[in-house]
A and B are shown apart, each in its own frame.
Chain A
Amino acid sequence: MIPFRSYIQKIQPVFWVTLLLMLVFNFFSSRFLSLHNIINLFQQGAVLLIVAAASTLVILSEGLDLSLGSVLTLSGITSVMSVNSGAPVSVAIGIGILTGLICGAITGTLISIFHMQPFIATLGIQGVYYGISLVLTDSVAILTKNSSFIFFGSRIGYLPMAALIGVGAFLLILLVFHKTPFGRYIVAIGGNESGTRLSGVNTRFWKWFLYTFAGGVTGFAGVLLASRLEAADPIVGVGWEFDAIAATILGGTSFQKGKGGVAGTALGVLLITVVRNGLNVIRTPSILQPALIGTILIIAIVIQVGLSMRSTKKEGKNKP
């Protein structure tokens, strides 16, 4: 099929870079490609995979959500607080997701009803959600000792729970994206919002629903993160939204016309996770890591966007 092939072509460089990085890391430390570390990779990447999928959906609609990191934080806190106050684990998970849904619904209202620019609305609301996180925790991480809540770190045989849940959730989002009207309306809003409205689709509602959905998904990811860390930290989510955006861009999604897809984001997540994990494994001083990762991500984005700009120019020339 033609569309799929061009899509693969587009994210090919990311794939090769990832592969190259894996080899390099393995050269410096043979531990990198050990079973133990691969399991680690999955555990570390799983949460980002889910958040990045949510972020991709929003970006495909020509939107942006800078509040995802704060939603991740806040929902982790509410779920840990409820499990610590004696709620069953299932209820705690539900509360975490509900927190995300409410956060997303507020964001969605600002953007689709009040027509605020997405980046301003989500930047402002980010402050509010972090603020609430700080208030709830009084700026200190809350630990949890509940053994059934920390399920995310467990394993089924060799399979880490994290990988199962992360990949499962990602596939579910992929299903929503490709197989439900909602998923298709995301692309439609990004590609031709007014035309879609003229075709009889309630684009305003679906836009609101998109941010709500992204919030809910991130809420779930927040619970998973808290479960893995066995704690809820009020600043744990700082910067996650940018990792999610970077993964989206590296996965071949552009900011315009609903071009791109959710599947490629997995590759972006893999690259970011490999970089983060690899730097650890080869014992890069931890103090260097944020700067290195930030620089690598910026350069990767510039290359990816630059390459895709060149290929679009070529496409344009071939057209009659």
Chain B
Amino acid sequence: MASETDPALALPSGSRGASHTARRAWKMGKGLLSILFAVAFTFLGLLAITFFIGRVVPIDPVLAVVGDRAPRAVYEAARLEMGLDRPLIVQFLDYVGNVLTGNLGMSVSTGRPVAEDLARVFPATLEMATLGILIGVLLGVPMGVYAASRQGSLVDQVIRVVGLLGYSIPAFWLGLVGLALFYAKLQWVGGPGRIDVFYDGMVDPVTGLLLVDSLLAGETEIFFNALSHILLPAAVLGFFSLAYIARMTRSFMLDQLAQEYITTARVKGVPERLVLWRHAFRPILVPLITVIALSYAGLLEGSVMIETVFSWPGIGNYLTTALLNADMNAVLGATLVIGAVFIGINKISDVLYRVLDPRAR
């Protein structure tokens, strides 16, 4: 992003009143710069929240970190190490500095630096969420377009209810029901975990994504085993993004189909399929990208619950384990990473919207 803004910054002094493109680039650069400031501000706010949760909310933050069974000496050492005798603002600046240098503290339950733990577990979540969003997009977009084209029909009503179900079904419950049905009863998919214990650790982690790593190593057997394990959790996640994406696609499409140019195209005798996909669908691509990005970010949230159900060794499982062990550093670290990714995806979709939609420039 920085490289895009820099040339634009240099423009006004040298080429005032220059070509149209230059002025547009300057305007866009200014827009991107303001987004950059907004991002920085939001991240600072995120840090303020996690700092507040970690240091201000607990009655005794030291206890929250070392646990109530820690001996006196450990307690005192932790208290000094955390710098709790200093003013709050100094503590906060210190905290920001630590986070920026990648120091998230030590995890009590794993005994390793939180940052290292998070880097280890993140690919598992990424793999599941990515497969989930693929399912959501590939099914949700056509469903939404179809529902809009047959507005009021039975299929449309069903898709509407599916959309509302996405807001009413607890993700963890759907995961459990899925396990009972597709794993215990029908045996179509693998059980909890990323892979059968037998195959565990048989491929070297290159990317950390098991599906990719096993293919790189040429181990198709491991690939299919991993696939059978990831299918159900990814499908459950996919259902939630599908519900949201279908609902939004339907509403965008209805807006487009009510436009006069659609009527014109139909009067001219353009086949209905072309009217739908070329005339009506193309203008909604830009807002749809934003919706998909938001949905992808939302899957990170959903994965916290799903991973607990499926014993999936990702960031959600890490977070809940840390929560139950009152491992505050790990909780705050995971919260920070999930929040940062969430904000990051949101802002990137903002930028994409600006770049792609001529009206927003």
Instruction: Report whether chain A binds chain B.
Output: no
